[in-house]
Amino acid sequence: MTSEDRATRLRLLQTEASTCTRCPLHEGRTTVVFGEGNPDADLMIIGEGPGQREDEQGRPFVGRSGQLLSTLLERVGLDRSEVYISNVVKCRPPGNRDPRPAEIDACKGYLVEQLKLIDPAAVVTLGNFSTKLLLKTEVGITRMRGQAYPWWGRHVVPTFHPAAALRSGARVVEEMVSDLQLAVQVIEQPASPAPVEVAEVREPEQIELFT
Ligand code: URA
């Protein structure tokens, strides 16, 4: 697919998502926060869901978590404009509560399409929701982070959500930097099939992703 086709198809998908009523989150949203960045990115970053600032502005990660994310990206030599940033759910859960399984399920198709169109070499999942969704695991982020997982011919690198770093401080920040460095490194490496010893990480169902 040419770069132009990719950008066009992402725009069409965004237009479709902008009037989405697939789950009850549409009732409370101001704007659908579809995602933004480089349609040809080697690295895609997936958060949880929009907060208040994101809902107001229609852009992902523009609040305090977003400022930290931009700083962390700079520390590993990346500008926000080079990557593509999105979320598991595209509409703000009321009061910033966790997204519910039915909401994640209803929104999943948009994320799958984004992943297919952008086709990044590496995906950084921020926090439990995106990590669990992609890697189909119940293992928490503290144990999952620190390594890259082969995932449909690409790499998934789980790390903490920036909100956790804002709460917990320097140690978590440094671990996030190290995870982002790992993500930058693995971009150049071919991804092998999932190693057998990662028993807790079940392969994603092919019908849902990359059929
Ligand atoms: N937190 C997220 O998970 N996503 C955003 O876009 C903003 C904050």
* pLDDT tens-digit series, residues 159-210: 999 999 999 999 999 999 999 999 999 999 988 766 544 434 444 444 355 4
| Separation of CA 190 and ligand 1 centre (Å) | 29
Query: Residue whose CA is closest, atom 7 of ligand 1?
Result: 61
Question: Helices 170-186 and 64-75 sit at what angle, rounded to 10 degrees?
Answer: 50
What pLDDT does residue 206 have? 40
Residue 121 clears pLDDT 90, i.e. is over it: yes
Mean model confidence pLDDT for the chain: 92
Asked if 122 contacts 153 with a C-beta cutoff of 8 angstroms, the reply is no
Asked if 148 contacts 155 with a C-beta cutoff of 8 angstroms, the reply is yes
What pLDDT does residue 177 have? 98
Residue 120 clears pLDDT 90, i.e. is over it: yes
Q: What is the mean pLDDT of residues 3-18?
A: 97
Pocket of ligand 1, candidates 25, 48, 131: which has the most ligand atoms within 8 Å of its Cβ, to mutate?
48
What pLDDT does residue 110 have? 98
| Separation of CA 48 and ligand 1 centre (Å) | 6
Pull the structure tokens for residue 204.
């994603």
Rg of the chain over CA atoms, in angstroms?
16
What pLDDT does residue 75 have? 98
**Could you report the per-residue pLDDT of 56-81, keeping only the tens digit for each?**
999 999 999 999 999 999 999 999 99
What pLDDT does residue 55 have? 98
Alpha carbon 77 to its chain's center:
19
Pull the structure tokens for residue 125.
């999942």
Q: Which domains does the chain have, with CATH numbers?
A: 3-186 (3.40.470.10)
Ligand 1, residue 127: give the atom nearest the CA.
3
Q: Select from 85, 111, 109, 89 the least CA-distant residue to 100.
A: 89
Rounded distance between C-alpha atoms, residue 162 and residue 56, angstroms: 20
0.85 surpassed by pTM: yes
Phi–psi pair at 46, nearest 5 degrees: -125, 120
- Tell me what percent of the residues of the chain surpass a pLDDT of 70: 91
What pLDDT does residue 194 have? 60
**Could you report the per-residue pLDDT of 81-101, keeping only the tens digit for each?**
999 999 999 999 999 999 999
How many Cα atoms occupy the beta-carbon half-sphere of 152 within 13 Å?
18
| Separation of CA 192 and ligand 1 centre (Å) | 30
Pocket of ligand 1, candidates 53, 55, 64, 65: which has the most ligand atoms within 8 Å of its Cβ, to mutate?
65
Residues with CB under 6 A from ligand 1: 47-51, 54, 60-61, 63, 65-66, 87
